[in-house]
Amino acid sequence: MTSPDITQTDQPRGLGGDLPTVLLDQIEFHVREHLRPRLEGLTDEEYFFDPGGSGRAWTVHPRAADGEQPPTSLQGGSGQMAIDFEFPEPDPAPLTTIAWRLGHLIVGVLAMRNHSHHGGPPADYMTWDYAATAAEALAQFDAEYKRWIDGVRGWGQEELQLAVGEAEHHWADHSRATLVAHINRELIHHLAEIALLRDLWAHRG
Predicted confidence band of residue 5 (pLDDT cuts 50, 70, 90): low
Say yes or no to pLDDT of 8 above 70.
Answer: no
92 close to 57: Cβ distance less than 8 angstroms: no
The predicted pLDDT at position 70 comes to 93
Q: Within 67-133, where are the H helices?
A: 98-103, 112-118
pTM: 0.91
191 close to 105: Cβ distance less than 8 angstroms: yes
